[in-house]
Every structure is written in C-alpha cells, then in structure tokens.
Amino acid sequence: MNAGEAFARRWLIARGCAPVRAGALAMAAGQRARRYPRAVALLRAAGLWLIEFVFPRLLLGRWRRASRLDATAFEELEQRAHHAGRLWIRGIYLLARLPLWELRHAEPPPRQTPHPLEPLLARVPPLTDHAEFDVIVVGSGAGGAPLAADLAARGHRVAILEAGGLVQGETTAGALAHYYLNQGFVGGASGNALLPVMLGRNVGGTTPINSATCLEPQPPFLRQWDRITGLPFSDGLLSGELARVRETLGVCVPDRKLLGASGEIFERGLKSLGREGAYVLPRNTPACEGLGRCPFGCPRFHKRSTDIAFLPLALQRGGVLYPGARVDRIAESSTGVQLHVRFRDGQRLSLRARKCVLAGGALGTPQLIRANRLGSHWRAAGDHLKVHPAAKVLALMPDSVHGERGIAQGMGYQAPELPRIAFEGIFTPKSTVAPVLPCAGAAADYWMDHYDRAASFGMMALDRGSGSVRWTGGQPVLRYALHADDVLDLARGMKLMAEAFFAAGAECVLLPLIGLRNEFITAAQLADFSPADVRAHHLVASGFHPQGTAGMGRVADVDHRLYGCRHIFVSDASLLPDTPGVNPQLTIMALSLRLAGMMDTELAS
C-alpha cells in the first residue's frame, strides 16, 4: 500500500469504516483521482506523500507516519491541517480527501434519457475542411446560443462550435467530473483563502447546470454600465431583448410547494425578526417537478437552458452545431475570419466565416483573445474579473429538513442595509457538501451524520473587488482579491442568516469561516460574533458568475466588436462592463440578441 492509500485508509477508518472496506475505498479513490486534470492529480499525489510523512512532524511535532497516529493524534492532525494559516496546507488537505468523500457518499446512477437535441444533431452534416459560413459562434452558452438562433432565423449560414458535449442525468459527483470546466478545479487565491470558481463546458454552456434563477439587471448597477459605455442601459436599452428572452425561456415564478424546505425555514426566521420581503425567485423551469437537481443537469430536461430553448431553434432554422469542437486559433483578414478547430477524436479542420462571435465564457474568451492577439486591446483581456463571491450558512434544525428535496435556489431576499448582498437559497447534496464544510474531523462527521436535519441559505456579493484570468499549460489560473468592503458585507450577511435560522428554531448554526469561531448554539452566543473581525482569508467562498474579462468599453466597443477588429465580436459574460446586480444569465442572453440585431444589418449590407 503506497503512502496515499495508507493515509486514505486511516482517514476512512477514523470515519467508522471497517478496515477491509476502507482499504478497497482508498484504492478506488486513488483510481478516481488519477482521472482528475493532470496537474491536479499530480498535486494530490505529492500532497498525500507530504500528509503521510511531513504533516505529523510539521503540525504535531511527531515523528510518525500520519496513518500510524492513534485516534486522538489523528483528529488533532485533521483539525490543524484544516484550520492551518498556510493556504497550501489547507489546499493539499482538502484535495487529499475529495475523492474519499465522493466515494463515501456515492449516489446511485440516475436513469439517463436521450437528450432532446440528439435527433436534430443526427441530421447535421459532417464538417469539412475549409467549409465557409456567414457566422461562426464559438461557444453555445448564454451568450452564444440566442444569437445563433436569431441569426439562423434571419437566413444567415450559422455554425456553432462547442468544446463540450450534451448534459444528461448524472450523479452529483459525475456531473462535476463531466459537465464542469476542469472537473470543477478552477480557482484562485484571495488573500489567504481559496476561491473556487465554477463554470460549465457543455452544449448549452453553463446554462444546463445552473440554478435556473432568472432576474433582470438592476438599474442602480446599470448606471455604472452607462458611465463606462455611454449607452442608456439603465434607461431600458435592453428591455425588448429581455422580454424576448423571458418568453423563449418560459420564465415564471414556481409554485411554493415545489420549493426546498430550507427557503421556507429561512423566510419564517426572517419574519420572526420582523423582516418581510422574502420572495420566490423567477425561473426558466415552467414544467419543474422540484427534483432539486438543477446544478447537475435536470434529468427530465425541464430547465429551459440554451440547449433546450435556443439551440433547437438554431438547428431547425438551418444552423449547424458541432459538440466536442474546440477552437484554438483565430486570425482575421480584410474579408473575414479563419478558425482552426480541434475535435475530441484529434481531427483538425480549418474553417472560414465572414464574422466570428466569441462566446466561450468569461474564462474561455479572454484565452482566445490573448493567445491569438486579437484586436488592439488584447493585452487587457482577462483582467477585471468579477465572480460574485458566494457563501452559505448551515443550520441544524430539530426535525428533519431533507433540503435536497425541492428547488434549492427557490427563495430570494434583499436586506435594505446590505444593497450589495443578494440572499438566495442554496442546498448542496451530501456527496459534495463535505469539501465545503468549514469544519473537519469529528465536527464534520457530526454535521454529515445529521445532514437530513440541515437547512442552508446562501448569499453572493455584487463585488467591488476584481481579479484576472490567464491560461498556463492549458489550465486557467485565477487571481482574485476580495475587497475589504465585500468581506464586511459577507460577514454581516452571514450573521443575518444565522440570526434568521435561530429565530426559526435552529439548534446550531455553522458560519462559512475558517480560523475564527464558526459554530454557535444559541442566538446569545452569536451576538458576540463581530463581522468586523472577519478577513478575506477566513471566508469559505466560491464564485459562480465569472464575468467582465473582455468588457465593453475595455476590450470590445459598444457594438460588441473587439477594438481594432472588423469581423470579431464578443457575446458572453466576459462582455459585461460591470456587475448587472443579479445572477447574470438573462442579461447575457439579452446582450446576445442585441448583437444579433446589429450583425444582421451588417451582414445584409
């Protein structure tokens, strides 16, 4: 048994696993981790060696292998590694345990049904070298698909090239492995905290695995857009496009009986505190059954993500879509654009188009711009990254909650005193919650053992802070600095959520903090928690809305065209000049339709 397996087996035994089963699971975890992105797999292997041989000496002052520590010392090692001030220790320790949690709480595989796009895709002719189109759209998500459908409907020859494949019913862990960019291993450091950033890589982009909340951009935030671009966004510039998007997506407010229990508990708590105004979030799931699987791909295809709502329209109107097609080189000439595409099977083709639309998302589009030095402002691409840093509070209720049932992101709330914090429901299934728990060892086991009684609610900061993305060796590398005011807002937000849960009868709350007290069992205890003490490195946060990395007014002009280019446009989250003040998919789709209208005129002339 190698060092990694020895530690993994010991960790599983500490969780109450029988030694024989622990050995088998430890080996299976090793095999699972070998399928992680190469750099992550290597890092984990090296990290396991350090944990087994170096951590006991470094953290406990003991010359013993970690796997041979007695129960008390092993628990102490867990606590010190988890709460370590040094980021690399925390990171390695987290990575070491990821596949173990995944296997311990494995879900049965769901029944897979054919994707509704399959019959249409079967009719798409194979792509040939030097094929020509009016428009090639790189990426099929919120920014790419609406424009492709609209231009195809107007009679233009449109091709959509998408690096990802179709999203079908998957387990939670399977969805992370197959539908998320880099299997979910994308992130950066903020202060001394890890900040994972999630993004999809699918037909439909991130939309088949998002939480389906559909909110319109907020005028107070759009005023900043007006200042950057000189356009009247806050005066309803996108209102026509937003109405069309809402109609195509079937946006509606779901029946309350479909909502997960956490939202109702949180709302009850708010009311006890005298806070009215929690509301049901509008969604693009008109036929929703409340399965609670939105971020892992709806097994019934009831979410009208772009693969369901827009891409079928594009194909029915003569457009063509190629999944598994990754664009890596782009060059502009006076008459159009040449693109090089690499398919999953290794085939390479060269294509031509009169116009090209970059819709590869907030991380993919700046990669293409920088790698190909597109436009006069390519050096600015990748900067000004915003992520809407998000965090959640867990509460242990006296009775069972079963938060995994029903719509997780169903309720919203806006606290008047925190205008840059949006409160939204969230519930993470058991198989993936352990890595984001802010506690370890016996405390984490307790939460996992009682997870059927856990309620949770989340929030995101409409960030003042920003960062950057660069690609190195095929991996996105993010840097992000949480702004001190965002940290304070998030800390005040978590206190408010915890107060609401206590008011609703919680027995215990767990705040998303490491290195500060995070567990409270009475409201009186919580009163001593001071948000001003929280620093960036204490926060357990993640980002689900990367944006702004090829912003209008910075890298692209007000017609979405890259500065210095004639034929290359941007249409995705990277174009947003600043936060729209809400979850961004509706805004991105509306901008996509705006660009389609402008391109139609240009193509016709």
Ligand X SMILES: Cc1cc2nc3c(=O)[nH]c(=O)nc-3n(C[C@H](O)[C@H](O)[C@H](O)COP(=O)(O)OP(=O)(O)OC[C@H]3O[C@@H](n4cnc5c(N)ncnc54)[C@H](O)[C@@H]3O)c2cc1C
Q: Is 364 in the site for ligand X (CB under 6 A)?
A: yes
Q: Is 280 in the site for ligand X (CB under 6 A)?
A: no
Can you tell me which of 171, 210, 431, 432 binds ligand X, judged by CB under 6 A?
Answer: 210
Q: Which range, of 26-34, 87-95, 267-275, 579-587, touches ligand X by CB under 6 A?
A: 579-587
Residue 545 annotated as catalytic: yes
Q: Which range, of 4-12, 253-261, 272-280, 577-585, touches ligand X by CB under 6 A?
A: 577-585
Rounded Cα–Cα distance for residues 20 and 32 (Å): 19
Q: Is 408 in the site for ligand X (CB under 6 A)?
A: no
Strand partners of residue 325: 343
Rounded Cα–Cα distance for residues 98 and 11 (Å): 12
Q: Least distance in Å: CB of 269 to ligand X?
A: 23
Q: Which range, of 72-80, 127-135, 210-218, 239-247, touches ligand X by CB under 6 A?
A: 210-218
Q: Is 425 in the site for ligand X (CB under 6 A)?
A: no
Residue placing its CB nearer to ligand X in the complex, 368 or 385: 368
Q: Is 359 in the site for ligand X (CB under 6 A)?
A: yes
Residue placing its CB nearer to ligand X in the complex, 11 or 225: 225
Q: Least distance in Å: CB of 591 to ligand X?
A: 10
Rounded Cα–Cα distance for residues 347 and 517 (Å): 54
Q: Least distance in Å: CB of 147 to ligand X?
A: 10
Q: Is 198 in the site for ligand X (CB under 6 A)?
A: yes
Q: Least distance in Å: CB of 367 to ligand X?
A: 7
In this chain, which residue has its C-beta nearest to ligand X?
141
Q: Is 143 in the site for ligand X (CB under 6 A)?
A: yes
**Using an 8 Å Cβ cutoff, are 257 and 264 in contact?**
no
Assigned token pair, 422: 């949006």
Q: Is 201 in the site for ligand X (CB under 6 A)?
A: yes
How far CA 171 is from CA of 110, 275, 430, 432, 438, in Å, comes to 7, 37, 12, 11, 24
Angle ∠(262,264,265) on CA atoms, nearest 5: 65
Q: Is 142 in the site for ligand X (CB under 6 A)?
A: yes
Assigned token pair, 425: 């429901």
Q: Which range, of 21-29, 148-156, 557-565, 580-588, touches ligand X by CB under 6 A?
A: 580-588
Residue placing its CB nearer to ligand X in the complex, 207 or 468: 207
Q: Is 208 in the site for ligand X (CB under 6 A)?
A: no
Stretch 326-355: interaction string toward ligand X, x if CB under 6 A: xx----------------------------
Give the 3-state secondary structure of residue 279. Answer: strand
Cα–Cα nearest to 374, from 358, 361, 359, 350: 358
Q: Beta strand pairing status for 568-570 and 348-358? A: parallel
Can you tell me which of 67, 168, 213, 262 binds ligand X, judged by CB under 6 A?
Answer: 213
User: Strand locations in 76-161, DSSP E?
Assistant: 132-138, 158-161
Residue placing its CB nearer to ligand X in the complex, 5 or 424: 424
**Crossing angle for the helix pair 71-82 and 3-14, to the nearest 10 degrees:** 100
The alpha carbon dihedral of 14, 19, 24, 26 has a sign of positive
Give the 3-state secondary structure of residue 19. Answer: helix
The CA radius of gyration of the chain, in Å to the nearest whole number, is: 24
Can you tell me which of 545, 560, 561, 594 binds ligand X, judged by CB under 6 A?
Answer: 545
Strand partners of residue 588: none
Q: Least distance in Å: CB of 163 to ligand X?
A: 4
**Using an 8 Å Cβ cutoff, are 468 and 385 in contact?**
yes
Please give the distance of CA 513 from its chain centroid, rounded to a whole number: 20
Give the DSSP per-residue string, 83-117.
Answer: T-SSHHHHHHHHHHHHHHHHHHTPPPPPPP---TT
Which DSSP state fits 60?
A: I
Residue 601 buriedness (CB in 10 A; 0-12 / 13-18 / 19+):
exposed
Q: Which range, of 151-159, 192-200, 225-233, 250-258, touches ligand X by CB under 6 A?
A: 192-200
Q: Is 544 in the site for ligand X (CB under 6 A)?
A: yes
Q: Is 66 in the site for ligand X (CB under 6 A)?
A: no
Assigned token pair, 431: 């198989």
Q: By rule CB under 6 A, what count of residues binds ligand X?
A: 43
- The identity of residue 502, as a single letter, is F
Q: Least distance in Å: CB of 362 to ligand X?
A: 6
Give the 3-state secondary structure of residue 341. Answer: strand
Q: Which range, of 101-109, 200-208, 242-250, 344-352, touches ligand X by CB under 6 A?
A: 200-208
Q: Is 161 in the site for ligand X (CB under 6 A)?
A: yes
Can you tell me which of 4, 99, 139, 174 binds ligand X, judged by CB under 6 A?
Answer: 139
Q: Least distance in Å: CB of 583 to ligand X?
A: 3
**Using an 8 Å Cβ cutoff, are 162 and 321 in contact?**
yes
Q: Is 584 in the site for ligand X (CB under 6 A)?
A: yes
The Cα diameter of the chain in Å comes to 77
Q: Is 263 in the site for ligand X (CB under 6 A)?
A: no
How far CA 6 is from CA of 2, 51, 53, 98, in Å, comes to 6, 11, 11, 16
Q: Which range, of 56-64, 132-140, 166-174, 265-273, touches ligand X by CB under 6 A?
A: 132-140
Q: Is 212 in the site for ligand X (CB under 6 A)?
A: yes
- Interacting residue ranges for ligand X, rule: CB under 6 A: 138-144, 161-164, 198-202, 205-207, 209-213, 295, 326-327, 359-362, 364, 368, 409, 544-545, 572-573, 583-586, 588
Q: Which residues are catalytic?
A: 545
